Amino acid sequence: MKEGLKARINNKDAVIGIFGLGYVGLPLVYSFVDAGFKVVGVDVDDAKVEKLNQGRSYIDHIPDHLISDVVSSGFTATTDFSVAQQMDALIICVPTPLNKYREPNLKFVVQTVESIAPYLRKGQLLSLESTTYPGTTDEELAPRISATGLSVGDDFFLVYSPEREDPGNANFTTRSIPKICGGYTENCLDVGVSLYRTIIDKVVSVSSTSAAEMTKLLENIHRAVNIGLVNEMKIVADRMNLNIHEIIDAAKTKPFGFTAYYPGPGLGGHCIPIDPFYLTWKAREYGLHTRFIELAGEINASMPKWVVNKLVEALNEESKSLKGARILVLGIAYKKNVDDMRESPAVEIMEILTAKAALVDYSDPYVPDFPQMREHKFDTSSIELTKQNLQIYDAVIIATDHDNFDYQLILDNANLIIDSRGRYSGNTNKKIIRA
C-alpha cells in the first residue's frame, strides 16, 4: 500500500486535495500544479470557490494570472467534501483560532476531518498543516480516521507538516522554505516526505507528529517573546527619552549574539499572537505554568493601548481632547505590503479610539473596504492620502508602514504623527511622536 502510493506521487499520478484555500492553501495549490499534479481545492466559502474557478484571486500578493494559470492546468475548487474519495493526498490548512477564553479552538480542523471521514479509503495520505498544540494529530485526527476502519500506518498514512508561509515576503517561496514533517508512524513519515519533496527543496524529518507540532510553536513563540522584550524596551527607552530604533540599529552591528527585533503597535497575523497560547494551554495538562511566554503575551497585547495613550498625551499638549478628535489610522493590515488583516493591532487601535468617542478613519491601499470580520465591525472604506485629506485630521497614526505610502506627503501635511513603526526614526520634527 505504501509503495503504491509513493509510486503514484513520484510519477505525478497522485491527485492532491487542499482543504482551506487561504494564505496557506493557495500557495500549495500553485506549487503542486506547477510540479505537474492534478489538484482539487475544497473550501466552505462559496464566494472564494466561485472566484477561483473564474481564475480570480482574493489575496493581494497572489495575482489573478497565477490563479488563471492553475485553472487552465486543470485545477478546480469546490465546496463538496465528497471529492476526498478521488484524492491520494489530502492536505488540511484551515484556521486554528482561540476561543474567548484564549484556549485552542480546533473546530475547523475537527469539522474538516469529520466531513471527509465518510470518503476516506485505503492508500491515502492525510497531512495537517494548521498550527496546533503537540498531540493534536495523534489525539484528534488518528482516532477519527481509525473509526472508519482504516489502519493508520498500514493502509492509510497520517503526517503533521506545519505551514511556514510568510505572506508578501518575496525572498522566500513555498519551494525555498524548508518543510518540517513528522509521521504517525515511520511508514507515514516515509510517504509524507515523498509527497513534500516534489514541491519543496528541503524536507526536514522529525521523530513524531508531536515534535513537528512543537517545532512550529517554538518558531512562533521565539518571535513573540523577543518582540515582547523589545516592546518593553521601547517603553523603558521612551521614559528615558531615548530612541529605541537608534539603539536597535546600534546593537545589531555586533556580528554575533544579537538578533534584531523591532517594536510595534502589537502583534498581528494568524500565528504569533495566537500560537503561544496553544502551548500554554497544553502545558497546564502537565502541571506547568509558562510564565515567560504569558508575560510576553501580556506585553504585546498591551501595545495598542500604549499607542493610544501616546496619542492622548500628544493631543493634550495641543490642548485637544481625544473625544471628538479626527484620527486617521494609516495601514490596517497586520504587516506592511500585504492585505492580511488577521489579528491586526491596527483594528484594535481603531476600536479603542471609537470607544473613546474619537472620529476614526483609515487609509490602506491594500484594504480598500473594511472587510467582514468575525470580531470587528466597521462600515468604512479607505481614505485617499492627499494633502487636503491629511490636513483635516487632528492626528494620523502609522500603524502599518506600507512602503507605498508617501511619507514625505504625510510629514508635510499631517498635523500630528503618532509613529508606532519607527518610520520617521531619527527625524526630530516636533509633530512626530514615537509610539
* CATH number of the structural domain spanning residue 396: 3.40.50.720
* Position 374 confidence tier, pLDDT thresholds 50, 70, 90: low
Q: Are residues 196 and 270 in the same domain?
A: no
Residues 74 and 196 in one domain: yes
In a domain, 270, yes or no: yes
Q: Which of 152, 184, 209 is the last residue of a domain?
A: 209
> Do 280 and 204 fall into the same domain?
no
353 and 253 co-located in one domain: yes
pLDDT of residue 102: 83
3-state SS assignment for residue 184 = coil
Mean pLDDT, range 40-64, rounded to an integer: 94
Query: 345, 338, 337: which is closest to 307 by C-alpha?
Result: 345
Sign of CA dihedral 411, 414, 416, 421: negative
* Residue 166 clears pLDDT 80, i.e. is over it: yes
| Residues 248 and 205 grouped into a single domain | no
Where does a domain end: 157, 190, 209? 209
Residue 227 lies in a domain: no
222 within a domain of the structure (yes/no): no
Question: What are the tens digits of pLDDT across the range 106-160?
Answer: 999 999 999 999 999 999 999 999 999 999 999 999 999 999 999 999 999 999 9
**pLDDT above 70 as % of the chain:** 99
Residue 395 lies in a domain: yes
253-273 confidence digits (pLDDT tens):
999 999 999 999 998 877 788
Taking the model in full, what pTM does it have?
0.91
Same domain, 186 and 90: yes
- Do 24 and 109 lie in one domain? The reply is yes
Does 371 share its domain with 274?
Answer: yes
Q: Of 185, 209, 233, which marks where a domain is finished?
A: 209
Query: In a 3-state reduction of DSSP, which class is residue 49?
Result: helix
Q: Which of 395, 296, 400, 420 is nearest to 347 (CA)?
A: 400
Q: Which DSSP symbol is given to 81?
A: G
Indicate if 114 and 167 belong to the same structural domain.
yes
Same domain, 248 and 196: no
Whether residues 264 and 309 share a domain: the answer is yes
Number of domains in the chain: 2
Residue 271 annotated as catalytic = yes
Q: In this structure, is residue 218 part of a structural domain?
A: no
pLDDT averaged over the chain? Answer: 95
Same domain as 301, residue 202: no
Q: Of 93, 181, 188, 271, which one is the catalytic site residue?
A: 271
> CA–CA separation, 179 vs 332, rounded Å?
30
Task: Assign 104 a pLDDT band (cuts: 50, 70, 90).
Answer: very high
- Quick one: how far is CA 333 from the chain centroid? 11
- Give the C-alpha separation, 287 to 180, whole Å: 28
Instruction: Say which DSSP state 208 is in.
Output: S
**Residue type at 264?**
G
Structural domain for 69, as ranges: 2-209
